[in-house]
A and B are shown apart, each in its own frame.
Chain A
């Protein structure tokens, strides 16, 4: 036994310098780098590079099947005078603004309702989220059928009730088409807003409400001075995501109207698809999608300030 214990000490090798290979294997920074390689490879080759390439393409006259030449800001100048482009910008802003505002209102309301105690609570929450699970295109097809010009169930019901005499041309009339796509977008977005806000609501201490009740606060006051302030940070994040995804929406419009009637529902994303892929003008399409970037940056800034505010709030609470 003693021999065994002593033997290694006698045969002790001098501590060798860490070879370059050891460094690659054990150094924290190198190890971190190896672990990051797969994710970074994807994000660099298929996200960062295309993002840069997209901006470059917007300064060229590339078409499908032809390498483009640098043409400066010609695409943007062309778009500047293009009434359809400005219409699509207007549509996008209208769509984003109206849909996000209503999604927020209904989503918050639904979250407050779901936060109450009631039978079958878990099942109701699960049901509410279904519109968010089902692929957008497929539910958009259901809306397409619901808003059909001849066989719409809504027109039929309203006619039976005697409110209208003629079928409403839902997706053929410019105003109605806008209302319909906004409605479909709200329908799809509300569950996301509601369920994430509900998660926020559940972190609010019930004792705060009990204290407020003892102080004689009304339900509105409880919402305004307890729920809303505590929910602000999560509202900021949720609404940033909501605005971002509404602004860049493509599939709902494409499945329901393809931008029609007379471009009344063309968003910037659908217009860029039409110009770039269908018409083959890659450069022009890239210019349209690059024009979305400033708006997106603005949305991200808002999110960032929302997060800052959360830190500030937490700091105050820790005092």
Chain B
């Protein structure tokens, strides 16, 4: 199995030497020519397609359930469950016009945007101070912020519930707007520290000589150069907010204040009659904004995810 197909190498080598310009231009092929097509089919495409199908199947199923008529949902023998010929938008209609869903969507969006903006402002200032002002103890504070990233919400929600109650924030969106930054700030500070480090120090020195204050440097020089980093941080924070569950479940009580994840779990599941169609429609509608956002900013998203881990 592991023997190299030597004749193939010779042939390729000859081809390459006869057309050196093509070989120079195309580095993308790498060493993949060493593998034959059938072998690639078994070792690469087959396992890859199985994994991708498993990863995406729940979304297909979610979407299909959301547009299936009710009688087809519960009768698996008469209709083929994997497809439907008469899709219905009844579940979406019910969701949008006969439930509080638009309000929950609005709550989620409102909380996510506010918490994200607050955290980005705080993190920009903190990251700049740690990386560029390098005050006494900056490294230690950076380490502490990283440690804060490792403190999970599941051990904080009980004491936070009492704190939120003391501050009189219980059952208001402010409770979430003020507590989400504890999850977001450590993450985005580390991400932005990485970005700020890549901005040439000389630019700031020039500005300092020209008499700019630190604030002006930050606003007029550093931030415009760090826009990709800011977008990454923004998108990732927004996704984290949208995804957050345990704080929203604990701190909010009234139906009209809930966020989408909490509302779907608590309000749509009544007794034993699972309204699967509208449940799946709700899940789909709640995921769609994030997926669309993600589709536009894939690269930023990936750099956010890997950047925070690499540091």
Q: Contact residues of A with B, CB < 8 Å?
A: 28-29, 31-33, 35-40, 42-43, 45-51, 53-54, 57, 62, 106, 109-110, 113-114, 116-118, 122, 124-131, 133-139, 141-143, 145-146, 148, 151, 153, 156, 187, 190-192, 195-196, 199, 206, 209-210, 213, 216, 218-220, 234, 237-238, 241, 244-245, 247-251, 254-255, 269, 272-273, 276-277, 282, 285-286, 289-290, 292-293, 296, 299-300, 303
Q: Find out whether the CB atom of B122 lies under 8 angstroms from the CB atom of A38.
A: yes
Chain A neighbourhood of B283, CB < 8 A: 138-139, 141-142
Binds A, one of B94-102, B195-203, B239-247: B239-247
Query: Which residue on B lies nearest to A303, using beta carbons?
Result: B150
Selected contact of B185 from candidates A39, A134, A151, A303, CB within 8 Å: A39
Give the docked Cα–Cα distance between A37 and B185 (Å): 12
Known contacts A29-B135, A46-B178, A255-B265, A273 near B246 by CB under 8 Å: yes
Nearest CB of chain A from residue B126's CB, rounded to whole Å? 4
Q: Find out whether the CB atom of A106 lies under 8 angstroms from the CB atom of B51.
A: yes
Give the docked Cα–Cα distance between A106 and B182 (Å): 31
In addition to A54-B158, A145-B65, 19 A-B residue pairs with Cβ atoms within 8 Å of each other are A28-B135, A31-B214, A40-B126, A50-B163, A54-B156, A54-B159, A109-B47, A110-B51, A126-B298, A128-B55, A129-B298, A133-B294, A137-B243, A142-B61, A146-B61, A148-B276, A196-B305, A277-B161, A303-B150
Known contacts A31-B129, A116-B32, A142 near B47 by CB under 8 Å: no
Choose among A33, A137, A213 the residue with the greatest number of B CB atoms under 10 Å from its CB.
A137
Known contacts A53-B159, A134-B287, A29 near B136 by CB under 8 Å: yes
Q: List 13 A-B contacts (CB under 8 A).
A: A31-B133, A32-B130, A42-B118, A43-B148, A50-B163, A113-B44, A116-B40, A134-B291, A135-B245, A142-B58, A145-B61, A199-B306, A269-B246
Give the docked Cα–Cα distance between A43 and B56 (Å): 37
Q: Find out whether the CB atom of A241 lies under 8 angstroms from the CB atom of B55.
A: no
Q: Find out whether the CB atom of A51 lies under 8 angstroms from the CB atom of B242.
A: no
Chain A neighbourhood of B76, CB < 8 A: 151, 156
Binds A, one of B14-22, B23-31, B223-231: B23-31
Q: Find out whether the CB atom of B295 lies under 8 angstroms from the CB atom of A126.
A: yes
Query: Which residue on B lies nearest to A135, using beta carbons?
Result: B243
Q: Find out whether the CB atom of A57 lies under 8 angstroms from the CB atom of B159.
A: yes
Selected contact of A135 from candidates B126, B130, B261, CB within 8 Å: B261
Q: Contact residues of B with A, CB < 8 Å?
A: 2, 4, 28-32, 34, 40, 44-45, 47-48, 51-52, 54-56, 58-59, 61-62, 65, 73-74, 76, 81-82, 118-119, 121-123, 125-126, 128-130, 133-136, 138, 141, 145, 147-148, 150-163, 178-179, 181-182, 185-186, 189, 214, 239, 242-243, 245-246, 249-250, 260-262, 264-265, 274, 276, 279-280, 282-284, 286-287, 290-291, 294-295, 298, 301-302, 305-306, 309-310
Q: Find out whether the CB atom of B158 lies under 8 angstroms from the CB atom of A209.
A: no
Q: Find out whether the CB atom of A39 lies under 8 angstroms from the CB atom of B59.
A: no
Chain B neighbourhood of A269, CB < 8 A: 154-155, 246
Chain B neighbourhood of A110, CB < 8 A: 48, 51
Q: Find out whether the CB atom of A219 lies under 8 angstroms from the CB atom of B155.
A: no
Selected contact of A213 from candidates B4, B155, B290, CB within 8 Å: B4
Give the docked Cα–Cα distance between A285 and B160 (Å): 13
Chain B neighbourhood of A292, CB < 8 A: 154-155
Chain B neighbourhood of A273, CB < 8 A: 157, 246, 249-250
Query: Which residue on A lies nearest to B295, using beta carbons?
Result: A126
Known contacts A153-B81, A244-B152, A269-B154, A138 near B287 by CB under 8 Å: yes
Give the docked Cα–Cα distance between A249 and B153 (Å): 9
Give the docked Cα–Cα distance between A286 and B156 (Å): 9
List the 3 shortest-distance A-B pairs measured between CB atoms, nearest first.
A32-B135, A35-B129, A39-B126
Nearest CB of chain B from residue A211's CB, rounded to whole Å? 11
Nearest CB of chain B from residue A299's CB, rounded to whole Å? 8
